[in-house]
Amino acid sequence: MEHTVFLEFEREGQPIDVYSVKLATENPSDGYGILDVTTRETIVNWGHIVTSTTTGRYEYTFTVENGHTYIVSWQVIGNAGDDPTYQTEHVGPFFSVDNEIRACTSYTGTFLPDSTATLMLKVTNFNGLPQNVSNATIAIYDDFGTPQNLEINVPLHVDTGFYVYDWELAEDQPSGKYSILWSYEADGVDKSEVQNVVVSSESTSEPELYSGKALEFRLALEHHLTCAQSIPVYFEQARPTRDLKTYKFTFPRWNQSAGMIVYKNQEPVNSGVTVDYFTGTITFDSALTAPEVVNADYNFKWFSDEDLYRYLLNALQTVNIYPPVSDYSLTDVPDRFIPVILYGAAKDALRHIMMCLQFQQPQQVFGGEEAAQRAFQGFEQLKQNYEKDWEKLLEQKKFGPYPMTRVTVTPEYTLPGGRSRWFRYLFKGGA
């Protein structure tokens, strides 16, 4: 299977040629212009010259493998004597041997050096049902394609369709962007998924959102909301942008493992398209014409990671304000409160869906306005069931266990007929 990468140059809206274009990294010792990061093999050697195929367009075609990811590095010199500039792009993974649709990476957290980054993969079929896979492995690369784990790493299979891997970051782990490549076999076909994480010593984001006990809470909440996190959408018509190259769909957060199909004028498209699963957009290599219509089948998550985290925090704070008042966090809350937090978070998530069903676009997922109202009634009944259990569990908190506290009282004695100064203050209006 062949794939073409390219650069285009314009000045004032007109295509122009530049002085020099090569496939090369900034560091010649890297030895590559295109690297297969899955196998660590050099596909194109450093310094390969690329000439323009038409004015302003420089392209190179190479053979790609199913499930593999590649790094392509360009060196560009605009005019003679100019300093070179460099541009790096990740290509792939490719979904099947007869399909050249490319995937963008999705963001899955920012981590501090000297911490544990918990990486998670959820695999479903297109209809949203979790499915197990075989030969699952995980590889981690920095932004230059350098592997961070030299041996074959096997993630932990925690439940049907759920896989987890703990990456122990070194104390001196360099800051930057890292690519996580999951590889596995499903239904006899090699597949892969690419995620993106950031390591930063100055991170101000919530590190617990993607690690530790908070991640386990979020995983458990996803189990309560499994269907809402794997919703199939069939043949939705896209909205074109002004350049007629990028097309947008209603819902973001597409599930890579479920796959997707792009249609142009009702015919499946197998090449020349980049899919951004994170935002729910697709971009064609070349602009289409205005009359052309783009559709897609895709599978998406209703809730973002931040949504689920907020519902968990709301439920936790409700637990904290019930007597006896407490100050737990998601990392130290006692196990006896886990059901309370999960039921409270699930209740908020259902309320979110019910509010969305009052609007036109979300109603279409359920088959239109009438079907959405029937779904609303079912969600209302389910929410009430969660609320009843949630309230019963919260009421149990007041029965303890309470902290063990002792109070020692020292009596004050006076001479016969005397009174303490505090007694005189209270009953005679002052000392």
pLDDT at 423: 42
Comparing C-alpha atoms, which of 276, 294, 280, 285 is closest to residue 240?
294
As a whole number of angstroms, the distance between CA 146 and CA 420 comes to: 80
Residue 206 has pLDDT above 90, yes or no: no
pLDDT at 417: 53
As a whole number of angstroms, the distance between CA 37 and CA 5 comes to: 16
Residue 101 has pLDDT above 60, yes or no: no
In sign, the C-alpha dihedral spanning 100, 104, 106, 112 is: positive
**Torsion angle in degrees (nearest 10) through CA of 146, 152, 157, 161:** 60
Residue 99 has pLDDT above 50, yes or no: no
Listed by start position, the domains of the chain span 2-91, 103-208+245-301, 305-399
Residue 414 has pLDDT above 80, yes or no: no
User: Which pLDDT tens digit goes with each residue over 320-362?
Assistant: 999 889 999 988 999 999 999 999 999 999 999 999 999 988 8
Strand blocks (E) in 169-243? 176-186, 189-199, 231-237, 239-240
Residue 418 has pLDDT above 90, yes or no: no
**Residue bearing tokens 């994170």:** 278
Tokens for 289, please give them.
């014409």
User: Which pLDDT tens digit goes with each residue over 127-160?
Assistant: 767 788 888 888 888 776 677 765 668 888 877 8
pTM: 0.60
- Give backbone dihedrals phi and psi of 343, rounded to 5 degrees, phi first: -65, -40
Tokens for 266, please give them.
């009702």
- The class of domain 103-208+245-301 in CATH terms is mainly beta
More confident residue, 133 or 104: 133
Tally the C-alpha atoms within 13 A of residue 85's C-alpha that lie toward its C-beta: 8
pLDDT at 409: 58
Radius of gyration of the chain (CA): 29
User: Which pLDDT tens digit goes with each residue over 41-70?
Assistant: 899 999 999 999 899 999 999 988 766 778
CB atoms within 10 A of CB 387: 16
State mean pLDDT over 214-226: 84
pLDDT at 415: 54
CB atoms within 10 A of CB 129: 14
386 contact partners, CB below 8 Å, separation of at least 6: 343, 346, 347, 350
Task: Band the pLDDT of 171: cuts 50, 70, 90.
Answer: confident
Domain covering 2-91: architecture:
Sandwich (2.60)
Tokens for 144, please give them.
């230059």
Task: Band the pLDDT of 257: cuts 50, 70, 90.
Answer: confident
More confident residue, 236 or 178: 236
As a whole number of angstroms, the distance between CA 199 and CA 207 comes to: 10
Mean pLDDT rounded to a whole number for the chain: 82
pLDDT at 295: 95
More confident residue, 114 or 72: 72
Residue 163 buriedness (CB in 10 A; 0-12 / 13-18 / 19+): buried
From residue 12, how far is each of 15, 16, 147, 382 by CA, in Å?
8, 10, 41, 59
Q: Is 135 left (phi over 0), alpha (psi -120 to 50) or beta?
A: left
Task: Band the pLDDT of 425: cuts 50, 70, 90.
Answer: very low
As a whole number of angstroms, the distance between CA 376 and CA 299 comes to: 21
As a whole number of angstroms, the distance between CA 160 and CA 124 comes to: 9
